[in-house]
Structure 1
Amino acid sequence: DLQKASAGSLASIFSATALCPTELVKCRLQAMHEMEATGKVARGQKSTVWSVVKTVLKKNGPLGFYEGLTSTIVREVPGYFCFFGAYELCRSSFAQHMGTDKDSIGILPLMFSGGLGGACLWLMVYPIDCVKSRIQVYSLAGRQEGFIKTFMGIVRTE
């Protein structure tokens, strides 16, 4: 179980690399919609996926999509460790209780194990995800604050 949790954790570095560009666009779109709703940005300004993609490419080039990559990795590594760890431990517990192997526990225990794994992942990553999203949104306004400074700002003000 520990090996699978560690392997999932290590694999998350690669998933973070794939996730970062789409999460950057998502966070910026969310921020733009909220800023429009509160009047901080003029209504009707283009806030589509493609407008955000074009803006990132024009301002920062292809590497601009990796703003917040370190924070995404910091979020994913412990999160996936918790997910796979809880998932495998739960499957092992069901198998032991049912007197069978982990592959024969049935669909409901398997679904419960996955749900518990997902809950553990989000309990671990939610605070880190908040910081990562702020970094990606702040970079929209040209503010380049690191993880610790952003985290401390959230703790201080919120």
Structure 2
Amino acid sequence: MQGQASHSPLPAIDSRLPAPSLIKTLPDKVPVSIAGRDAVAGAAGGMTSVLLGQPFDLLKVRLQTTNSSNVLRVVKDVWVHEGPLAFYKGAAIPFLGVGLSVSIQFSVFHSCRQAFEGLNSQKRRAYGNRLSGGQAYLAGGAAGVANSIISGPVEHIRTRLQLQPHGAAKLYAGPLDCIRQIVRQAGLPGLFKAYPVAVAREFQAYGCYFAAFEASIRSLGQLRGKERKEMSALEVVPCGALAGIAFWVGSYPIDVVKSKLQADGFGVDARYRNVWAAVVDTWHRGGMRGFWRGLSPTLVRTSLSSAGCFAMVEQVRKLI
């Protein structure tokens, strides 16, 4: 027919296939939620930190709650009288509890981080939407407070297990027996002994912890000309170590008082009537140095455990 254009036949469309516009929008894989990713990464990092740091934590508690300041003597006493496995006394509960608590820490921190970044974006800060040092501290403090619900009882149980005598004088058959005896003496609230001090320690410690990590990894990234996601585990290690040091230097005196109160008896057996009594006793026994006793092995421990924790967390977050 005149004026009719010739057309090549159209290919048949398989009705079983989705429309082209839908194909473009389908992701390669189902993404994991940000909260879920941070929770899994935090749990892996927490378990790593316990494996690396538990022996040093035992030394810290022994030094904090006794009059000894000789690290080597404490190490020798534990090794000779209790055996090498004693350095992992009380590790069962922390291994599970710290995995959960670090999962909470990172989930809460990154949730607060997103909120602050959204606020910064709206206000068009000069430094963009990234966290300021103060915001990182507050987000870390919030993570610490949330974490204290788990870490408070866990550290209380661990402290009692670490300080109990060896052999026939042993007080607890294990973590569950320790929990049972605490509940028998003081009820469920007894598990949260010295909890207000634990909350204060967690806020201060994790505020310093996350603020130091964010500042150091940002500075290292700028120095190397890399985005955070491009940094290797080895590059994360020194940032994690610095974060751990900031954790303890910023909160150690509070932790000393917390350990004394958690190791104390209940009711009429209590040595300290309140927090102030523990502070005064620490001062009378060692002056200002009393609030820093045991810091040296703690800094060694935290350098290892925090470096391992952050390296694991950053790598797991990339994989998920």
Does residue 116 of the first structure (1) align with residue 242 of the second (2)?
A: yes
Give the secondary-structure state (helix, strand or coil) at the position aligned to 1:139: coil
**C-alpha distance 144-8 of structure 1, shift in aligned 2 (>3 A):** same
User: How does 1:128-139 map onto structure 2 within 5 Å?
Assistant: 128-139=254-265
Matches of 2:247 and 2:206, distance apart in 1: 6
Partner Cα separation in structure 2 for residue 124 and residue 115 of structure 1: 14
Within the candidate set 127, 134, 142, 2:253 is matched to 127
The reply to whether residue 155 of structure 1 matches residue 287 of structure 2 is: no
Deviation at 1:72, TM superposition (A): 0.8
Partner of 1:32: 164
Contact 1:82 1:120 in 2 (8 A): yes
1:10 aligned to which of 128, 142, 155: 142
Per-residue deviation, residues 22-64 of structure 1 (Å, max 9, x unmatched): 211122223322xx68xxxxx3454222332111111211111
Residues 117-126 or 136-145, more deviating: 136-145
Q: Distance in 1 between matches of 2:279 and 2:171?
A: 30
- Structure 2's unaligned 5+ residue stretches are 1-130, 287-320
The residue type paired with residue 172 of structure 2 is S
Asked if the contact 1:135–1:145 (Cα under 8 Å) also holds between the matched residues in 2, the reply is no
Which AA in structure 1 matches 2:270? G
Task: Name the Cα RMSD after superposition.
Answer: 1.9
Partner SS state of residue 226, structure 2:
coil
Conserved 8 A contact 1:27-1:136: yes
Matched AA of 2:160: R
Q: Is the 8 A contact 1:94 1:102 kept in 2?
A: no
Matches within 5 A, 1:8-157: 8-33=140-165, 43-48=168-173, 49-140=175-266, 141-157=269-285
CA distance in 2 between partners of 1:44 and 1:144 (Å): 24
Q: What's the TM-score once normalised by structure 1's chain length?
A: 0.84
Matched position secondary structure for 1:145: coil
Q: Structure 1 residues 104, 134: CA separation in 2 closer, same or farther (over 3 Å shift)? A: same
Q: Is the 8 A contact 1:75 1:129 kept in 2?
A: yes
Distance across 2 between alignment mates of 1:96 and 1:147: 44
**What is the letter of the counterpart of residue 143 of structure 1?**
R
What is the number of residues matched between the two proteins?
Answer: 151
After TM superposition, the structure 1 stretch with the greater mean CA deviation from structure 2, 136-145 or 105-114, is 136-145
Match of 2:305 in 1: none
State whether residues 6 and 81 of structure 1, in contact with CA within 8 Å, keep that contact through their aligned partners in structure 2: yes
- The structure where helix makes up a greater share of residues is 1
Tell me the CA shift for residue 144 of structure 1: 4.4
Q: Point out where structure 1 has 5 or more consecutive residues left out of the alignment.
A: 38-42
CA distance in 2, matches of 1:46, 1:12: 31
User: Larger C-alpha radius of gyration, 1 or 2?
Assistant: 2
Please give the alpha-carbon distance, in whole angstroms, between the structure 2 residues aligned to 1:133 and 1:70.
13
Distance in 2 of aligned mates of 1:88 and 1:45 = 43
8 A contact 2:183–2:190 mirrored in 1: yes
